[in-house]
Amino acid sequence: MPRVSVLMPVYNTRPEHLREAIDSILAQTFGDFEFLILNDCSTNADVADVVKSYADPRIVYAENERNLGISGARNRLLDMAQGEYLAVMDHDDISLPDRFEKQVAFLDAHPDVGVVGTLVKNLHDGKVRPRPSDDVSIKKMLMIQCDLSHPSCMLRRSVLEKHHIRYEEMFSPAEDYALFARLIPVTTFAILPEALLHYRAWKGNASHSKAKAMEAAAYGVHAFMRRDNPELWAMAQAHLVRMWRYRFCGIVLLTREQTFRETTWKLFGLLPLWRVKEALQKFR
């Protein structure tokens, strides 16, 4: 029985990106894993050819008879998994060689943690955005937006099974956000302070092509997440910033930034003009 199940759905992935993703998993310093690759009815034959060109016995390749979509594909991978820990992997990202080693060691040492992510390096601009590392700060962040990188995460399978938590088609393509939201009341989160995943941001990937659908799904996630976690939502409001931009001839002339405590008006989005203290209120 492998310690880790690597879950990677693929769909019409560029061959060069798919090879980089697969190579990065096979190069892990922690080798006790099964590598589950599920082809969700790709119309590009190169996808199957690339996967089948590998002879590593840890690879378990399967193909759906019909396209299940991202939530259905992720759930089938959950059903296939045998490992104690579940390593999420997207088909065009790159995991650094010591990612699994460090995540497994962390989960072994912290049995209360059900989700451990990492920092992420953007392959487009080379930037690594900071993230909170402690449980409460991560959960407050999630109450506002999904700033926990799903493909960087390793999950404790027993937590998902105990609480019957799976990916929900209703919230696709923000199914990862919904999964995190369901997990907030039942487990502890952590983020390792190292960039152990390189994320490929390009116009063809889901986060770009489905941005509006993801935003719409996030409204639904917020609805049940705030209902189920009122204390966290109350604390998170202190960090919530809403912004309005006012343009003249296409140029942003004024911006209005509203937080739980104050509203600030800025000229050209940079120069503060005036600030108004807000009465205590709840954002809706």
The per-residue pLDDT for range 20-46, each reduced to its tens digit, is: 999 999 999 999 999 999 999 999 999
The C-alpha atoms of residue 122 and residue 195 are separated, in whole angstroms, by 10
- State whether 245 and 170 are in the same domain: no
Whether pLDDT at 261 is above 80: no
* Domain count within the chain: 2
| Same domain for 251 and 166 | no
Residues 261 and 245 in one domain: yes
- Look up the CATH number of the domain holding residue 202: 3.90.550.10
Mean pLDDT of the chain: 90
Q: Structural domain of residue 265, as residue ranges?
A: 241-277
Residues 118, 226 share a domain: yes
Q: Does residue 272 sit in the same domain as residue 222?
A: no
Asked whether the beta carbons of 191 and 118 are under 8 A apart, the reply is yes
What is the C-alpha separation between 45 and 60, in angstroms, rounded?
18
Alpha-carbon distances of 240 from 135, 152, 283, rounded to whole Å: 18, 25, 9
Residue 283: inside a domain, yes or no? no
Distance CA 10, CA 19 (A): 12
Instruction: Kindly state whether residue 250 falls inside one of the protein's structural domains.
Output: yes
pLDDT digit string, tens, across residues 80-98:
999 999 999 999 999 999 9
Same domain assignment for residues 192 and 94? yes
Looking at the fold, whether 75 and 151 belong to one and the same domain comes out as yes
Tell whether the model's pLDDT for residue 224 goes beyond 90.
yes
- Residue of 186, 7, 187, 16 lying closest to 100 (CA atoms): 7
| Cβ–Cβ under 8 Å, residues 13 and 91 | yes
